[in-house]
Amino acid sequence: MNPIQHARTRAFVLCCLPFAGAVLSTNASAQSSVTLYGVVDNAFSYVSNQKGHSNFYMSQGNLQASKFGLVGSEDLGGGTKAIFRLESGFNSLTGAQSTAGYLFNRQAYVGLANDRYGTVTLGRQYTPYFNMVGALGPTGVLTGATGAHPGDIDALDTTLRFNNSVTYLSPTLAGLRMSAQYALGGVPGSVANGSNFSAAFRYDYQPVSIAAGYVKLKDVATSAALGSFAINSPVNNGYASARSAQLFAAAGRYSWHDLMVGLNYSNVQYAPGNGSLFLDKAVFNTYGVIATYRVTPSVTVGGGYSFTQQSKANGIDDPAHYQQISFEQTYNLSTRTTLYALEAYQHASGKALIAAGSGVSIADAVAVVGDSQNTTPSSGPSQFVGMVGLRHAF
């Protein structure tokens, strides 16, 4: 760590001490609160093929991302509260920031919440699409490291965030909640350029939960409003120069005693524009099924299957498709500490448009399990990932 980074870290720790004290001590006023929280998650991992070689290594943030944060609220009266959240991801094996240059790379927002009228927040935030549909999708049950759809093509894991965004979340009305978000691109003379939009709803009624959501991204490669977006895997890196991207997803679950089953679907479209390295709109459709069963109060097992199909476009007559099966087993040592095992296998076939130097080329599709292998995909059509780890939340 260089002297500047050390000084910044020291300053941040000193700033956090009063907040930590507020958590550990009794607050004389019950009308405001600040809570420090976090997760540390490390595992031993095995991958059958990472760019042509098997690998046994340590990985982090598998069951849940390693992170820490501060969340707080102040009662303003009349059912209204001021709220904020600051959340930072980190590498729990090395202590490094998850994203260089971002202290609070995961979330950083402030807002107002009212019991009757809903919540408005401003800042760096997850999308309503993720908060509502992602919670019912594969990564709400199977960790994103092995359970996300290939390369997290549909952003149902925690890979999509908006900067400069305004979000509205409605109160719950008869089991229904709705949310909309707009992120400003910050381009002088044009409000629309580089802007992003998301909207979603979720409905819960007894054992049934359903959700659907939409995302529209503009100027994918250059938008200042696009905080993060997974377009770095061989599944979709050939479309990183897209003028716009459109995502739609729906998911539903049914719970009966200790058993839960769910279905999910997503449609992702990349559209070209001036300067794009591809000519035709590319479409990816994904169909998935998930299930969990609570064996005992401490032991839960889960599994899922997904099929992802790319459309014929950009000179590809045999478009790529990916089949993935994922499993998860967890044992809760306490309410905060969990032992886990994860396994997943993916098989890819067909052709894909992939990044090649400063351009793109058509090549055989290669496997990339979940979103933990986006930068270390298989060199061939198959990839297996297995992990055994420990997660502690505080």
Q: How far apart are CA 34 and CA 200, in angstroms?
A: 29
Q: In this structure, are residues 329 and 303 in contact, taking their beta carbons and an 8 Å threshold?
A: no
**Angle ∠(97,100,106) on CA atoms, nearest 5:** 65
Neighbouring CB atoms inside 10 A of 77's CB total 7
Query: What pLDDT does residue 186 have?
Result: 87
Q: In this structure, are residues 227 and 259 in contact, taking their beta carbons and an 8 Å threshold?
A: no
Please, what is the average pLDDT of the chain?
92
More confident site: 160 or 24? 160
Question: Domains in the chain, start-ordered, CATH in brackets?
Answer: 3-393 (2.40.160.10)
Is the pTM value of this prediction over 0.85?
yes
Query: What pLDDT does residue 5 have?
Result: 45
Query: What pLDDT does residue 2 have?
Result: 45
Query: What pLDDT does residue 237 have?
Result: 97
Among 10-14, 76-80, 161-165, 258-262, the least confident range: 10-14
Over residues 102-129, the pLDDT tens digits come to: 899 999 999 999 999 999 999 999 999 9
Secondary structure of residue 36 in the 3-state scheme? strand
* 270 has a pLDDT exceeding 50: yes
Query: What pLDDT does residue 187 have?
Result: 87
Secondary structure of residue 94 in the 3-state scheme? coil
* 9 has a pLDDT exceeding 70: no
Query: What pLDDT does residue 6 have?
Result: 43
Q: In this structure, are residues 325 and 305 in contact, taking their beta carbons and an 8 Å threshold?
A: yes
Beta strands in the chain (DSSP E): 32-50, 53-60, 67-77, 80-89, 107-114, 118-126, 161-169, 176-183, 196-205, 208-218, 226-228, 244-256, 259-271, 282-294, 299-310, 321-332, 337-349, 351-356, 359-364, 382-393
10 Å CB burial of residue 374 (0-12, 13-18, 19+) is buried
More confident site: 110 or 144? 110
Averaged pLDDT, 190-207? 94
